[in-house]
């Protein structure tokens, strides 16, 4: 039997020793599936995260009218979340590695739910900007925590699916959010009531997160010894390979990683990815409304179709990755092939959108873009791959920082472009440029070994 590795059992151990599982081995037990249930919960939390995050985009036609906003002001307002969210990524990742993801996820749910509800009480551009920034601060720990949990809970052979289940909440939340927020606006009589209702529902999920999430498999009462040993056998093999490469398994600061090409490829890959995804998340509904003439209900359904395609694509990408790896394919072959295809299809789809006038053709092409774009959700397996489980939090924070720098830049840039040109063609070409940055990075990164820090 494989012994528990100290760096996994102690890092982020936020429960008392009484909570630690002291199970008696039973060779006849089948491994439980707690790790998959935990990641389904994370999928639900990220879905809610993106419903709240994207709510302002769906409500923007109403907010624009109430506050008489210019395109440039809209871009600034939609960037407020990303500015605060990006600033908190590395500090949030540092806290995750020390306090554990369980505490950080639950606290994040409470905080961003409260901030979303308060945004419904905004009385001016400045107050709404501040509330959106507060949502960004509170949400910052969710995705790096998911990356940390992926490293701690998933065997290496299952991390592709774990990463994409986690990240699939982004397009699912964006898609459901289009319908949900439009429905709440109709139900409550305005965007303010919709934001308050969504925020209160989010805070309630914080209790569920605290109840079910644990920082490691042996802390969870639902895991049996067979599941623990299955996970830890994979971790031990992974650590043995890392030791041969002289890569450490202990906790490290971020600075030593800055000298490696793969670290920067990870960051710039996520930077380019988010330039496309967050651009469509923030400006997509307004594009459908202003450029394609959709009413509020049609915007909701169009958003659902586009981002729903991304959800399906992301899950499929994770499945293909793990299936191919299980059949002996090298990590670089799998990841560079899948993400190279993804990048090519995203560029082609975005160029196609600039050439079509039919609104339904535009929705179809954007659905293709999101379907392949979301394969890059496999990147959430990379922090644990490059830094090991002990450093997955801080590396995940660095990766998400780089992506959300573009989340901050892109809404402002698109607002300036739309304001200057009076249309969306050059905005779509901006997304093409971001996709090219993504393509270059995913083909440069070495997915085969841990960084020797």
pLDDT mean over 10-27: 41
In the numeric block, the tokens 């109840």 are attached to 211
2: Cα within 13 Å, side-chain hemisphere: 19
Q: What angle do CA 247, 249, 253 make, to 5 degrees?
A: 90
Write the CB contacts of 348 (distance below 8 Å, at least 6 apart in sequence): none
Q: Tell me, what DSSP letter sits at residue 215?
A: S
Give the pLDDT confidence score for residue 249 in this predicted structure. Answer: 53
8: pLDDT strictly greater than 70: no
Query: 141 is written with which tokens?
Result: 């720990």
pLDDT digits (tens, 9 = 90+) for 385-399: 888 767 777 788 889
240: pLDDT strictly greater than 50: yes
Share of the chain above pLDDT 90, in %: 34
pLDDT mean over 268-278: 94
Give the pLDDT confidence score for residue 423 in this predicted structure. Answer: 87
Q: Is 446 left (phi over 0), alpha (psi -120 to 50) or beta?
A: beta
Taking the domain 33-442, which CATH number applies? 1.20.1250.20
Average pLDDT value over all residues in the chain: 84
pLDDT digits (tens, 9 = 90+) for 158-200: 888 888 888 888 888 888 877 888 888 888 888 899 999 989 9
Q: Domain map of the chain by residue range?
A: 33-442
Looking at per-residue pLDDT, the higher value among 384 and 197 belongs to: 197
Handedness of CA 325, 329, 335, 337 (dihedral sign): negative
pTM, two decimals, is 0.70
């Amino acid at each position: 039997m494989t012994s528990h590795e100290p760096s996994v059992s102690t890092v982020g151990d936020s429960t008392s020793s009484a909570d630690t599982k002291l199970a008696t081995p039973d060779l006849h037990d089948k491994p439980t599936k707690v790790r998959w249930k935990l990641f389904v919960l994370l999928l639900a939390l990220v879905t809610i995260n993106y419903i709240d995050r994207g709510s302002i985009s769906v409500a923007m036609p109403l907010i624009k009218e109430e506050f008489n906003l210019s395109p440039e002001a809209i871009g600034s307002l939609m960037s407020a979340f990303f500015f605060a969210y990006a600033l908190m990524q590395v500090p949030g990742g540092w806290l995750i590695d020390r306090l554990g993801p369980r505490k950080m996820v639950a606290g994040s749910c409470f905080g961003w739910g409260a901030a979303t509800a308060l945004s419904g009480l905004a009385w001016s551009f400045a107050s709404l900007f501040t509330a959106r920034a507060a949502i960004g601060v509170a949400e910052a720990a969710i995705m790096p925590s998911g990356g940390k949990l992926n490293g701690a809970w998933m065997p290496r052979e299952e991390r592709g699916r774990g990463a994409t289940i986690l990240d699939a909440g982004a397009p699912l939340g964006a898609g459901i959010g289009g319908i949900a927020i439009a429905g709440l606006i109709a139900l409550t009589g305005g965007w303010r009531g919709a934001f308050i209702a969504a925020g209160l529902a989010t805070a309630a999920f914080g209790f569920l997160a605290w109840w079910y999430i644990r920082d490691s498999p042996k802390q969870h009462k639902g895991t049996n010894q067979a599941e623990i040993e299955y996970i830890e056998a994979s971790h031990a093999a992974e650590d043995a390979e890392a030791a041969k490469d002289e890569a450490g398994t202990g906790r490290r600061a971020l600075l030593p990683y800055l000298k490696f090409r793969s670290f920067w490829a990870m960051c710039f890959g996520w930077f380019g990815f988010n330039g496309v995804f967050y651009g469509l998340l923030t400006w997509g509904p307004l594009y459908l409304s202003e450029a394609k003439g959709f009413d509020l209900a049609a915007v909701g359904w169009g958003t659902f179709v586009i981002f729903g395609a991304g959800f399906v694509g992301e899950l499929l990408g994770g499945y293909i990755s793990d299936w191919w790896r299980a059949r002996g394919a090298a990590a670089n072959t799998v990841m560079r092939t899948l993400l190279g295809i993804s990048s090519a299809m995203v560029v082609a789809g975005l160029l196609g959108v600039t050439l079509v006038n039919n609104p339904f053709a535009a929705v179809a092409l954007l659905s293709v873009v999101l379907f392949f774009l979301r394969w890059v959700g496999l990147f959430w397996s990379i922090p644990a791959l490059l830094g090991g489980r002990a450093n997955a939090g801080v590396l995940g924070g660095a990766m998400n920082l780089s992506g959300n720098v573009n989340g901050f830049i892109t809404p402002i840039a698109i607002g300036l472009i739309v304001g200057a040109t009076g249309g969306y063609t050059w905005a779509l070409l901006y997304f093409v440029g971001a996709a090219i940055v993504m393509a270059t990075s995913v083909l440069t990164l070495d997915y085969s070994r841990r960084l020797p820090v």
